[in-house]
Amino acid sequence: MKKGEIKIFKIDDLAHGGDGVARAENGMAVFISLTLPGDLVKAKITKIKKDYAFAKLIKVIEAGSGRIEAPCPVYNECGGCQLQHIDYQKELEFKHNNIKQLINRIAGIEKFELKDVLAADDDFRYRNKAQFPLKLDENDQITAGFYKRGSHDIVPNHDCLIQHPLINRILRVTLEELNKFQLSVYNENNLRGLLRHLVIRVGTCTNQGLLVMVTNGDDFIDKNLIAKTLMRKIPELKGVVQNINNEDTNVIFGKEDILLAGENKITEYIGQTAYLISARSFFQVNTMQAKKLYDTAAKYLGNDRSAKVIDAFSGTGSIALYLADKAEKIYAVESLESAVKDAEKNAKLNNINNVEFKEGLVEEELSELLEKEEIDSIIFDPPRKGLDEKTVDLLLASSIKKIIYISCNPATQARDLKKLKEKYNLVKIQPVDLFPQTYHIESVALLELNN
């Protein structure tokens, strides 16, 4: 097999990242995006590594079962979605199977209950937050979109099909206003230019919008006029914020926020619980599915009003506040100061008094909490990298009865379950689809202390 060679491949699997997988004659795995199991395709080899290779789809010769026409006109180029060419039912089957394989292979666990994926009622137009990089098009107009697969070229798109419709409208009106002024756009190669990103958040339940214009420096003289005009033209817009990011980084936000018009936050609901969300707060991007996720956590936690619970990696306190009436006391641990402040405000907003927020690292706060008090259950919702070794060791030395492990990365979850199985039985896993059309999936595992 050589780079540039064109070959016919039969796709027989779907990898965790959403690429179809074929086997070359030498047994090497070949990853081909935009394909699915059952496809017979013509593809060109683009990269060869030691144990695997990548190829670019040229033509589908025979379509596998579940292949559909992707509804998004820029789907083949844009890196935002990976599974639009697959029927949603089939997508759910792949996600289910993927979790099963990871738990079997990485965790080495065969005996557990794997529930059907909780599907989204809306598999399009569900995202409540978008972060658009900007560029100048061939007519020198500011345009926005998402990065091309595997690159930092922007594919313009002002009607992304997985975003809430209000996000797309705010984007279009904002671009129209920005284009009335002679504004420069940030260039990540020479670090020059003003406008870096537009970040738009909306409340799915409240239909409120918040616009953040991320700029390199503050040389933005028309900003107040633009912000006021946008507030007038988009009645749902609650506020316009400028965030200043002067760093040479891929991280979107800088440290300084300036309120240009209106308020710096919106309100959103998950069930009956209200949340204030500001420019940089973490909040699940799919509000309706987040409710199913938190309801699963609630079901697994049970309803013991005398229970003491820890919500580890608590963000703005969303889970702890949602479950507050299911325990006597919840300790919520989060490292980000601003998230803890938001969480405290959200507790007041909901008149909740039995959640105590602790700013700090889970791996440090946990040992203190476990020494101080007998904890009945812990809910983990870590970032993609999962739990660190210190936390796993603490759990293995503890006698906590129940662990509810929520993960946005089933591979690291499986790695952690492998270590935890020494002391904890994996009872069941409920996958929840928060990210239709993409390879991402949320997985809620219930673990109980071995007898």
Ligand X SMILES: C[S@@+](CC[C@H](N)C(=O)[O-])C[C@H]1O[C@@H](n2cnc3c(N)ncnc32)[C@H](O)[C@@H]1O
Residues at the annotated binding site? 284, 313, 334, 381
Distance of closest approach, residue 204 Cβ to ligand X, in angstroms = 15
| Out of 39, 376, 381, 433, the residue judged to bind ligand X by CB under 6 A | 381
Q: How far apart are CA 448 and CA 401, in angstroms?
A: 6
Could you say which residues in the range 323-352 bind ligand X, by CB under 6 A?
A: 333-336, 339
Segment holding 321, helix H or strand E: helix 318-322
**Distance in angstroms between the alpha carbons of the first and the last residue of the chain:** 54
Q: Closer to ligand X at the Cβ: 43 or 347?
A: 347
Which of 27, 15, 39 has the alpha carbon at shortest distance from 439? 15
What is the spatial order of strands in the sheet that 237-244 belongs to? 154-156, 142-147, 129-136, 195-202, 209-215, 237-244, 256-262
Contact between 19 and ligand X (CB under 6 A)? Answer: no
Residues in contact with ligand X, total (CB under 6 A)? 19
Q: Closer to ligand X at the Cβ: 74 or 285?
A: 285
With beta carbons less than 8 A apart as the criterion, state whether 21 and 13 touch.
yes
Distance of closest approach, residue 439 Cβ to ligand X, in angstroms = 17
With beta carbons less than 8 A apart as the criterion, state whether 312 and 366 touch.
yes
240 DSSP β-pair partners: 211, 261
Taking residues 243 to 282 in sequence order and writing x for each that binds ligand X by CB under 6 A, - otherwise, the string is ---------------------------------------x
Residues 276-287: b if buried by 16+ CB within 10 A, e if exposed: bbbbbbbbbbbb
| Out of 284, 289, 430, 438, the residue judged to bind ligand X by CB under 6 A | 284
Could you say which residues in the range 287-326 bind ligand X, by CB under 6 A?
A: 313-315, 318-319
Task: Please identify, among the stretches 66-74, 100-108, 222-230, 379-387, the one whose residues bind ligand X according to the rule CB under 6 A.
Answer: 379-387
Q: Which two tokens stand for residue 250?
A: 């891929």
Judge whether 408 counts as a catalytic residue. Answer: yes
Distance of closest approach, residue 225 Cβ to ligand X, in angstroms = 35
Residues annotated in a binding site for S-adenosyl-L-methionine:
284, 313, 334, 381
Distance of closest approach, residue 336 Cβ to ligand X, in angstroms = 4
Q: How far apart are CA 54 and CA 57, in angstroms?
A: 10
Q: Which two tokens stand for residue 442?
A: 């949320």
Residues identified as active-site: 408
Contact positions vs ligand X (CB under 6 A): 282-284, 313-315, 318-319, 333-336, 339, 361-363, 381-383
